[in-house]
Each structure stands twice: as structure tokens, then as C-alpha cells.
Amino acid sequence: MQTRITELFNIQHPIIQGGMHYVGFAELAAAVSNAGGLGIITGLTQKSAADLANEIAKCKDMTDKPFGVNLTFLPMLSPPDYPAYIKAIIDGGVKIVETAGRSPEQYMPALKDAGINVIHKCTSVRHSLKAQSIGCDAVSVDGFECGGHPGEDDIPNMILLPRAADELEVPFVASGGMADARSLVASLALGADGMNMGTRFIATEEAPVHENVKQAILKASELDTRLIMRPLRNTERVLTNEGVERILEKEKTLGSDIKFEDIAPEVAGVYPRILMEGEMDLGAWSCGMVAGLINDIPSCKELIDRIMSEAESIIRNRLTGSL
């Protein structure tokens, strides 16, 4: 299957593994890329630019296929040394960067001068158009269903994707709610050039997370995610657990007076202990509604091969056959 995304990134299948904190290590990125998709290392999971350089080198030892690095630009009192991370990406020979969070505009000259293709994750059409205007080569359009930060507009992909298709000139992929062949074919029908999967790739053999995390996804239904931090206008979709319910109770009790410090014990710095050590009730971790569609833990190759085979069957038999 050839689309503008497979051509842009020189990949076999129009499937991207999005950057995920404490999930997007070399093991997963290489497995996705070796299976014909686009694997992504999560840059800020690495504690320094030197650590990122080592992770890039490790990934290059595991695959000769294209892979990318995610850089999320966050509002922080002490921001990471983004220029150093970008230098590590450039020096490592990586030619694809997925950006997220705030606009990457100030870093675009360095990335483009190095010949890097940039795909920016957006939760609205207006932000997608901004990404296009500053020179991003592609956009990942993230619907309200997504795990992590869905923005504040609450527009699901059945509306958001065709709206993006109406407005954008650069290629884009559908993100949020993507799990299988049906997701891919629907995304293509709505105007996207491929799909980005996050939660689905956590439940794979190569995902370097604790088995408790994978089993939690398998056990979850589409009803088991919650939206936290809405009063702070930093909404995040997470899988419910005791820590998440504590957050929601604090938000209910404190109302508009709530501050980040009130929920920090369940949010700040919990990812390593949840994802790496399996302490599932400690606090919040990003997970999409798509958990309700995930029922097994295949290898990345098995997953991608299955998606592409079933997508072809849907297109050739179900869709063409209905004409």
C-alpha cells in the first residue's frame, strides 16, 4: 500500500508508532521499523542528549530501516536542553522527527537544514494549519479518542479527519482510536494517508514495559479511560486506577481552586514506576479508548502484517464487493 506518508518516510506500510513516554525505546522502535512501519524513539524519556545519542545508536544496531525520534516541547520552569537533543538527532543520522506539545517553530531551521522530515502532532485543524505554515512536512491529527493529551476541543476523528483533509495540503495520519485494519481503512476513507498507533503498540511483545501494563490494557474496555486535569486546561486521557480516582476526587472537591501541586503525587514522576515496575495503582498514565479493541499481545510484525492483510481484504472484498 503506497500513500504520501509511505513515500515521505520511505516506509513499506502507512503505520507509525507514536512517541510514548517510557515506552518508545529502541527495542520497540526497531521492531516496528523492521516490520515495515515507522518506529519512534521518545526523546525526552532519555535523561540527557548523550543518553538519546546512545539510544539512537542502539536502534541503528537493531534495524537498517528508517525510524524517528519524538521531541515534545513542554512549558517548564527548567526546560530540557532542546538544542542538545536536536544535535544528538542530527549527529545520529536520524531523518524523521515527530514533534508534539508546543509549536516547534523556533527549532524548524535546525531540523530542516539537516534534511529532517518533521511530522507534528495536532489536536485541531487550526493547529495543523499552523504546523503546515511553519514548514512541517506532515501532521499527525489526534482525535478526542486518543490517549494522552487530546486538547480542549473534544472533536472525535469522524469529524476531525475529514475537516483536516478539507484544509491541509501536506500529508497527515490519523491518531487516536487506531488499532487494526478497520482503523486504517477508515482513516484512508476519511482523507488521511496512514495511521499513528500508541496504545496498541504498548500491548506488543517488544514493548519494553511491565507485563502488568500490557494485561491492564487487555482487561480494559472502551469505558475504562478517564479525563484528568481538565480544570487545569491540560486534559489527559488515562486508564483508570486507584491513583486516577484520587485525582478525580481532588478535582471534584477543590473545583476551580485546584492547582497542579494538589495532584502532583499521582502525576509527577510516576511513569517509571508504573510502566517499568508495574505499580498500576500509583497514578496516571496515558491510555486511549482504543484499549477496548485490544485483545492480544502479538509481535510488532504479527500485528502489522495482520493489519495490512485484513485492510487489503476489507478494500478488495467488503468495499469493492458492495459496489
How confident is the model over 2-41, as pLDDT tens digits?
Answer: 999 999 999 999 999 999 999 999 999 999 999 999 999 9
Could you tell me if 61 and 140 lie in one domain?
Answer: yes
Q: Is the pTM for the entire model greater than 0.95? A: yes
- The neighbouring-strand residues paired with 67 are 39
b/e per residue 258-288 (b: at least 16 CB within 10 A) = beeebbeebbeebbebbbeebbbebbbbbbb
Could you tell me if 181 and 239 lie in one domain?
Answer: no
**Domain membership flag for residue 313:** no
pLDDT score at 74: 86
b/e per residue 71-110 (b: at least 16 CB within 10 A) = bbbeeeeeebebeebbbbbbebebbbbbbbeebbbebbeb
Could you tell me if 81 and 181 lie in one domain?
Answer: yes
Whole-angstrom CA distances from 178 to 31, 71, 93, 289, 296 are: 18, 21, 29, 9, 15
Say how far apart CA 193 and CA 174 lie, in whole Å. 8
pLDDT score at 75: 78
User: Per-residue pLDDT averaged across 276-298, rounded?
Assistant: 98
Domain that holds residue 51: 4-207
Say how far apart CA 264 and CA 7 lie, in whole Å. 43
Could you tell me if 33 and 153 lie in one domain?
Answer: yes
Could you tell me if 191 and 107 lie in one domain?
Answer: yes
Could you tell me if 225 and 109 lie in one domain?
Answer: no
Last residue of a domain, one of 181, 207, 233: 207
Last residue of a domain, one of 207, 231, 259: 207
pLDDT class for 42, splitting at 50, 70, 90?
very high
Residues in the chain: 323
What CATH number is associated with residue 108? 3.20.20.70
Cell numbers for 135? 514548514
Could you tell me if 106 and 80 lie in one domain?
Answer: yes
pLDDT class for 78, splitting at 50, 70, 90?
confident
**Domain membership flag for residue 216:** no
Could you tell me if 124 and 94 lie in one domain?
Answer: yes
Could you tell me if 149 and 277 lie in one domain?
Answer: no
pLDDT score at 278: 98
- Give me the chain's average pLDDT, please: 97
Say how far apart CA 227 and CA 248 lie, in whole Å. 9
Could you tell me if 238 and 193 lie in one domain?
Answer: no
Could you tell me if 57 and 20 are in contact, meaning their C-beta atoms sit under 8 angstroms apart? Answer: no
Say how far apart CA 44 and CA 124 lie, in whole Å. 24
**Domain membership flag for residue 199:** yes
**Domain membership flag for residue 304:** no
pLDDT score at 121: 98
Q: Which ranges constitute the DSSP H helices of the chain?
A: 4-9, 26-34, 49-62, 82-91, 108-113, 125-133, 157-167, 181-189, 199-202, 211-219, 242-254, 260-267, 271, 300-313
**Domain membership flag for residue 86:** yes
**Domain membership flag for residue 90:** yes
Could you tell me if 172 and 23 lie in one domain?
Answer: yes
pLDDT class for 61, splitting at 50, 70, 90?
very high
**Domain membership flag for residue 150:** yes
Could you tell me if 84 and 142 lie in one domain?
Answer: yes
Sheet holding 96-101: strands in order across?
Answer: 15-17, 195-197, 172-175, 138-142, 117-122, 96-101, 67-73, 39-42
User: Per-residue pLDDT averaged across 146-173, rounded?
Assistant: 97
Decide: residue 114, CB within 10 A, 0-12 exposed, 13-18 middle, 19+ buried: middle
Last residue of a domain, one of 146, 179, 207: 207
**Domain membership flag for residue 312:** no
pLDDT score at 77: 74
Instruction: Indicate the number of domains in the chain.
Output: 2
